[in-house]
Structure 1
Amino acid sequence: MTRFNGCIDLHHGKVKQIVGGSLLDDSPDQLTTNFVSEESPSFYSKLYKENNVTRCHVIKLGPNNDEAAKEALAAWPNGLQVGGGITLDNAQHWLSLGASKVIVTSYLFPGATFSKERLIQLCELVGKDRLVVDVSCRKKNNKWLVAMDKWQTMTDMEVNKETLDMLSQYCSEFLIHAADVEGLCNGIDEALVERLGEWVTIPATYAGGGRSMEDLKLVDKLSNGKVDLTFGSALDIFGGNGVTFQECVEWNEQHK
């Protein structure tokens, strides 16, 4: 059964909701921000903890987010996954700071080319059970390609059954942002969710475009309950008016 999983997106130390496709290093003035929270990262950690919203992720979008991420982890030790700049050199450090799992993308794609060697090394270092592979993607020529560097660089990996089967040998979970619709609140990528439901064999969380409780029901239907959903900009705790946090908590309680 599809569940609601939470997110804490960090940008320059603040909890924000950003249109995914606008995260350009060389053009910061083009950044489209939907919401900047007045609350601290720990506020959201405690909110998720108190309402038993598990498998939530903290994503560091670029530099100047380490202290904010540490604050979030400290508020719920071993309750949150952390991603953004995770490498072989720092993965263990983030686990020691209280992350339940580390989430990796860009490190696996030196020069935008997939390195199985790096995946195996990371898996051996932290253990399969504590590794999440982020296969966030953008659509190109009717294929979904993994996108790295804040979703700006297309890699050589297509998201399909073959690659997900291979990756799942070395990780315990997937996180998939549909970067083309991330932050737009115009609805989910239905075709991607349906395919993921057919392909995934381990827990997977989809993010991107969710705008109402109907989308939670739709993900459940399209994926046969095999893919979970996270809401961002549409959620009331992030300034949205499409869905309330309380509705999501009640959904999870009803669908245990």
Structure 2
Amino acid sequence: MKVFPAVDILDGTCVQLVQGNRKNAVTYGDPVSRAQDWLEQGADALHVINLDGAFGAAEKNVSLIKEIIGSTGAEIQLGGGIRSIADAAGWLDAGVARVIIGTLAVERPEAITEIATEYGREAVMAGVDARGGSVVVHGWEKTAGDLITMARLFEERGAGSLLFTNVDVEGLCSGIAEEPVRRLREAVSIPIIASGGITTPQDVRTMREIGVEGIVLGSALYRGSITLKEAIEEAER
């Protein structure tokens, strides 16, 4: 199981939000430096989110993200504000390993197929951010449908993987909720990267035992509740 440290960018700064609320942002300095720090500590992949893009300002942070791509050479999955096939293509051409599309996947599922046809299934990660079993989009402000139904649709349309974020526990550092992850793992056959609530080595172990292919570490990692070394050691058992 792979560990993806999160590098979330808001107004040019690396941040972590609680429950997706930008008013709760805690800042952690320069995004490029933080990305390099995680790689030096043993990560071989990064989860980069343009939060300004998620909130409707996709043009923000572009130069910073391109600097991360160019200076690290790491495997990067990128999300936030990718609202068109052209947006996705631009980032894939710029060197990211895969784009994460959430709102676009919900509103235009055929976009998944088009991107997968051009770049390969592995380049398309469909985001299924869920609250109370329902997918939420537009910065988690709107409900879009049942989690399992949407996940199966995205798989059918050609997504190579799913990013599942459990909004109910995201950013709280209070542990994971196993049940929705298990339901999702049983419902689809493509790889799942899980995010939300992963706080301790036991949480990492549980995710590994459920059978997800990767996890995203955000708030718990930045707050020191778990170290990257601990997470990687547990993930690779």
Q: Would you say same fold, with TM above 0.5?
A: yes
Taking the aligned partners of 1:60 and 1:53, their CA distance within structure 2 comes to 20
Residues 117-143 of structure 1 show CA distances to partners (whole Å, capped at 9, x for unaligned) of 33323333333121111111111xxxx
> 1:107 corresponds to which residue?
104
Helix, strand or coil at the partner of 2:117: helix
Taking the aligned partners of 2:114 and 2:225, their CA distance within structure 1 comes to 42
Query: Following superposition of structure 1 onto structure 2, how do residues 1-256 of structure 1 map, counting pairs within 5 Å?
Result: 2-23=1-22, 31-33=23-25, 35-38=26-29, 40-50=30-40, 53-62=43-52, 63=57, 64-77=60-73, 79-86=75-82, 87-110=84-107, 115-139=108-132, 144-155=133-144, 157-160=145-148, 162-169=149-156, 170-221=158-209, 223=210, 225-235=211-221, 238=222, 240-252=223-235, 254-255=236-237
Contact 1:59–1:84 (Cα < 8 Å) also in 2: yes
Q: TM-score with structure 1 length normalisation?
A: 0.80
Name the structure with the higher strand share. 2
Contact 1:108–1:116 (Cα < 8 Å) also in 2: yes
Contact 2:105–2:154 (Cα < 8 Å) also in 1: no
Helix, strand or coil at the partner of 2:218: coil
Helix, strand or coil at the partner of 1:53: coil
Q: TM-score with structure 2 length normalisation?
A: 0.86
User: Which 4+ residue blocks in structure 1 deviate beyond 4 angstroms?
Assistant: none
Taking the aligned partners of 1:54 and 1:243, their CA distance within structure 2 comes to 18
Unaligned runs of 5+ in 1: 24-30
- The Cα of 1:80 is off from its aligned counterpart by 0.5
Helix, strand or coil at the partner of 1:133: strand
Contact 2:46–2:74 (Cα < 8 Å) also in 1: no
Residues 194-232 of structure 1 show CA distances to partners (whole Å, capped at 9, x for unaligned) of 2123223122111111221111112223x1x23532221
Farther-moved stretch of structure 1 (205-214 vs 53-62): 53-62
